[in-house]
Amino acid sequence: MDEIRKTNEELNGIRDKIQDLENQEEQRSKRERKNNIVIKCTDMAPDEENSIETKTKEILSKINAEVMAEKIMYIGKDKQNRGITRVTFNNFEDKLKIMRNKSKLRGQDIYIVSDLTKAEREIQGILRQRAREEREKGDTEAKVGYQKILLRGQWVAWKDINTKN
For the segment 18-27, what is each residue's pLDDT rounded down to a tens digit?
Answer: 999 999 998 9
CB 41 within 8 A of CB 83: yes
123 contacts: CB under 8 Å, gap ≥ 6: 147, 158
CB 82 within 8 A of CB 109: yes
Instruction: Determine how many CB atoms are found less than 10 A away from the CB of residue 131.
Output: 18
Q: Which residues pair with 143 in a beta bridge?
A: 150
**How large is the average pLDDT for residues 91-115?**
90
Q: Which residues pair with 86 in a beta bridge?
A: 38, 73
Total count of residues recorded for the chain: 165
Q: Residue 134, SS3?
A: helix
pLDDT in tens, 8-61: 999 999 999 999 999 999 899 889 899 999 999 887 776 655 578 888 888 888
What mean pLDDT, rounded, does the chain reach?
88
Please give the DSSP secondary-structure letter assigned to residue 115. -
d(CA 110, CA 90): 23
**How large is the average pLDDT for residues 85-106?**
91
Cα 43 from chain centre:
21
d(CA 144, CA 147): 8
